[in-house]
Structure 1
Amino acid sequence: MIELLNPVERTALLTAALRAAETKREDRLYEDPYAARLCGDAGTELLAEVRAATFPPDRPRSLPSTPDYNAIRTRFFDEFLRGAAEDPGMTQIVLAPSGMDSRAYRMDWPAHISYFEVDRPAVLKFKADRLEGVPPRVAHRTVAVDLTADDWEHRLIDSGYDPAMPSTWLLEGLLYYIPEPDTHRMLERVAAVSAPGSRIAADLVNTAALTLPHMRGLLDVFAGWGCPWLFGSDEPEALFARFGFDVVAAQPGDPGADFDRWPDPVPARDVKDVRRVFFVHGRRR
């Protein structure tokens, strides 16, 4: 089945491998009991490549710590989704794309939540096979469609999604890999089916992270896998505002996005030529 996953989709196996490794830590920021079965040997191999690039044995680390970053990202978005679900007026959560995410299975959800996972048929089939016999903890619906398709919104609605009701969207691990026009189109399409008051969260890098020489080691790994990083934004608040979302952007290590794990300095937003990652979160106007 893994041969049916394209290069970007295989990065979901890397994320699962990182979550499996985090789950083994005594100081873990969350527990994902399904990550190991989702990542398999392929995810473990991808993680080994990233570790070799990030933690070279012959010199100090100059790249961001991928394990710490991923742990913080997962915990941050866990809390974002949990907080959204606690709102009695929030009845719909959408993961687009869903990849190898197991939040529907590992987290407790209120009874009023409908939980939608959108991804290509091959991805959803791969995950279903790996999680065979594991029941979701929420009213769970999969939408087997490519997010580049012209009709994915209609397929989502056909699965029970109501665009007139508030929803919560998580675009995790997506915007790095799609060109700027496609990012704009994605946000435009999400906004078009999100009622006022809907929530959104996503992660993305700044533009310097795509070009700085000391980032080459990590960038080359992803490019070698066939999924280069293509998009970054220095002004994520303005990017999302253009499509009707009022958001804030936190960097790993900021208050609320640290969890005593981020090992590096957090540069002020006005400092130029430094790599950044943003956790964007906010609401639809």
Structure 2
Amino acid sequence: MTTQEPARPGLPAAEQSSPAHSGRPAAERLSPVSRTAVAVARVRAYESAQPDPLFTDPYALAFVTAAGHPPRPGGAPLGPFAQRLLLHGILRTRHYDDRLLAVGARQVVLLAAGLDTRAHRLPWPDGTRLFELDLPPVLAFKDRILAERGARPQCERITLPADLTDPGWPELLRSAGFDPGQPAAWLVEGLLVYLDADQAAQLLTTVGELSAPGSRLLVEKGRDTSRTPVEEGLTEMTALWRGGLGPGTADWLDTHGWTTRFTALDELAATHGRLLPPGVAGGEPSGFLEAVRS
């Protein structure tokens, strides 16, 4: 089991290392969008601590604590939208865990992998190669915490520091051993909403070009960000949302060489015996897409 460290490509100015912060902890050098990975790790830490969790992430709390954002004991009650996001994050994690293992692809690519630890916590089949792409400060922070805890991946894990808005990332992936001629499983978890429509379309076009027939793509349905509720404690995150392809994500994929299947959030909640928080039922159906490359 190996982790490759290729040369790092160009980065947006906000993410570049400089002498001014070369001595600062890696977590402090994360951009606002990258710091949302810590918020997602908080969700996984929360669920992992429950009596009957849908998954267990043994490293999530370590990420959150190292970033200086430990869970608040006895914190204020969450508003309806925050409750929805919490449930969404929990069910999304379990759903993608299940689907990635069920697909059985020997090439798995996590785009904007953030603080994802699926390489370490899922029972991958022998021969699985898992590629993680994200900005250098994110991967540096994650790898430091994992190394401190002696974490060992359950597959061949290959980390690729890359900017997904840079057109050079596909060549970086191929150079690391990814074979576009073989089916792959792509996970685009919680990313598209932070891109504008053109960026999202370009990213998914590139994924399609790299995908052999039978490849799978896991991505969220998309949301109408113009209708995002305003709730205390969430505006720092929701202000970064640019919408991606919005609710039309499935239509876009279906007209660009994919066949999509939708799994609704309420369906997953019922399957796992979870109650939908107030304000979720009756709204625009949210959930997850699984697309097969035609």
TM-score tier (shorter):
0.7 to 0.9
2:41 paired with 1:9:
no
- Quote the Cα distance in structure 2 between the aligned partners of 1:82 and 1:281: 13
**1:117 aligned residue:** 132
Give 1:40 deviation, angstroms.
2.1
Could you tell me which amino acid in structure 2 is paired with residue 139 of structure 1?
E
Give 1:257 deviation, angstroms.
7.2
The worse-fitting range, judged by mean Cα deviation, of 28-37 and 252-261 is 252-261
2:91 paired with 1:72:
yes
Which of 203, 223, 231 aligns to 1:217? It is 231
Which of 239, 260, 270 aligns to 2:273? It is 260
- Quote the Cα distance in structure 2 between the aligned partners of 1:81 and 1:278: 16
Could you tell me which amino acid in structure 2 is paired with residue 280 of structure 1?
L
CA 1:43–1:179 in 2, change beyond 3 Å: closer, same or farther?
A: farther
- Quote the Cα distance in structure 1 between the aligned partners of 2:263 and 2:199: 23
Which of 236, 246, 254 aligns to 2:249? It is 236
CA 1:43–1:190 in 2, change beyond 3 Å: closer, same or farther?
A: farther
- Quote the Cα distance in structure 1 between the aligned partners of 2:202 and 2:265: 27
Which of 58, 72, 83 aligns to 1:33? It is 58
Could you tell me which amino acid in structure 2 is paired with residue 125 of structure 1?
A
Deviation string 1:13-42 (CA, Å, 9 cap, x unpaired) is 111111011100012111111111122254
**1:150 aligned residue:** 167
Give 1:251 deviation, angstroms.
2.0
Which of 5, 10, 18 aligns to 2:43? It is 18
CA 1:255–1:121 in 2, change beyond 3 Å: closer, same or farther?
A: closer
**1:176 aligned residue:** 193
- Quote the Cα distance in structure 2 between the aligned partners of 1:175 and 1:247: 16
- Quote the Cα distance in structure 2 between the aligned partners of 1:240 and 1:18: 29
CA 1:82–1:280 in 2, change beyond 3 Å: closer, same or farther?
A: same
Q: What aligned pairs does 1:88-127 form with structure 2 within 5 A after superposition?
A: 90-127=105-142
Give 1:253 deviation, angstroms.
1.0
- Quote the Cα distance in structure 1 between the aligned partners of 2:49 and 2:34: 24
CA 1:192–1:43 in 2, change beyond 3 Å: closer, same or farther?
A: farther
**2:78 aligned residue:** 55
- Quote the Cα distance in structure 2 between the aligned partners of 1:258 and 1:212: 28
Could you tell me which amino acid in structure 2 is paired with residue 158 of structure 1?
S
Give 1:179 deviation, angstroms.
0.3
2:212 paired with 1:195:
yes
Could you tell me which amino acid in structure 2 is paired with residue 3 of structure 1?
E
**2:289 aligned residue:** 280
- Quote the Cα distance in structure 2 between the aligned partners of 1:84 and 1:146: 27
**1:250 aligned residue:** 263
**1:270 aligned residue:** none
- Quote the Cα distance in structure 2 between the aligned partners of 1:184 and 1:232: 7
CA 1:276–1:7 in 2, change beyond 3 Å: closer, same or farther?
A: farther
- Quote the Cα distance in structure 1 between the aligned partners of 2:121 and 2:109: 16
- Quote the Cα distance in structure 1 between the aligned partners of 2:189 and 2:106: 20
- Quote the Cα distance in structure 2 between the aligned partners of 1:108 and 1:189: 29
CA contact (8 A) 2:108 2:128 kept: yes
Give structure 2 stretches of 5+ with no counterpart.
Answer: 1-25
Deviation string 1:174-217 (CA, Å, 9 cap, x unpaired) is 0111001111001000000000110010114322xx2236x122
CA contact (8 A) 2:253 2:291 kept: no
CA 1:92–1:62 in 2, change beyond 3 Å: closer, same or farther?
A: closer
**2:202 aligned residue:** 185
TM-score (structure 2 length as normaliser): 0.82
Greater relative contact order (Cα < 8 A, sep 6+) = 2
Deviation string 1:116-138 (CA, Å, 9 cap, x unpaired) is 11111111111100100211110
SS of the residue corresponding to residue 69 of structure 2 reads: helix
Could you tell me which amino acid in structure 2 is paired with residue 97 of structure 1?
A
TM-score (structure 1 length as normaliser): 0.84
